[in-house]
Amino acid sequence: MIADSSRQVFMVIEQDCVVTLHYTLRDDAGEVIDRSSSERPLTYLHGRGQLIAGLERELQGRRAGEKLGVTIAPADGYGEYDATLVEQVPRRALKGIASLKPGMQLRSRTEHGPRTVTVTRIVGDLVTLDANHPLAGKSLNFEVEITDVRQATEEELAHGHVHGPGGHAH
């Protein structure tokens, strides 16, 4: 929103704004876990749970042009690590899966419905499957640069997602 040629007025991030940002996510060891690419920043509709709760809360009230570094605790990120979601199964229970190896992700039917499980260990005939989110129990260290904040269109609000660059086609 440009008020005149010499002075820009930036919208504040609030419920139902469309926000565009660049981010880098690191774990506590400083390893990059995820980042937006320079050509494709992340665009989302604020306040609709499209980002993890802790990050949305930190972005509330910020403006385009701001850079911030925030650390999100596991409870506000991908949840605490739940040891009861780890199970060991005999390899034969997974027959039909070629070249099973640690790090592989599988779709699994569980009593709580379908979920993604990660193969974390294979020892002899025993395969350890972990249904925690790979980032469960981890602090999330974000560096964020907000590049644009705008009002959502009526259509975007009705659909509940962003249209145009970085968003849906319809």
Could you tell me the smallest distance in angstroms from the CB atom of residue 14 to Zn ion?
Answer: 21
**49, two tokens:** 């749970």
* Residue 170 vs residues 122, 149, 155: alpha-carbon distances, Å: 45, 20, 9
User: What stretch of H or E contains 124?
Assistant: none
Distance between CA atoms of residues 77 and 140, nearest Å:
7
For Zn ion, which is the closer residue by CB, 57 or 168? 168
Taking CB under 5 A as the rule, does residue 22 contact Zn ion? no
Stretch that binds Zn ion, among 41-49, 81-89, 99-107, 161-169 (CB under 5 A): 161-169
Segment near Zn ion (CB under 5 A), from 26-34, 118-126, 139-147, 160-168? 160-168
Q: How far is the CB of 40 from Zn ion (least distance, A)?
A: 18
Please say whether the beta carbons of 26 and 70 come within 8 A.
no
User: Does residue 159 interact with Zn ion by CB under 5 A?
Assistant: yes
User: Which residue number, 127 or 152, has a Cβ lying nearer to Zn ion?
Assistant: 152
Q: Is-contact 62 12, C-beta < 8 A?
A: yes
Both structure tokens of 114: 């379908």
Q: Is 150 in the site for Zn ion (CB under 5 A)?
A: no
Q: Do the beta carbons of residue 11 and residue 5 sit within 8 Å?
A: no
With contacts defined by CB under 5 A, name the span among 41-49, 77-85, 130-138, 159-167 that binds Zn ion. Answer: 159-167
Q: In the complex with Zn ion, which residue's Cβ is closer, 40 or 168?
A: 168
Residues lying near Zn ion in the complex (CB under 5 A): 159, 168
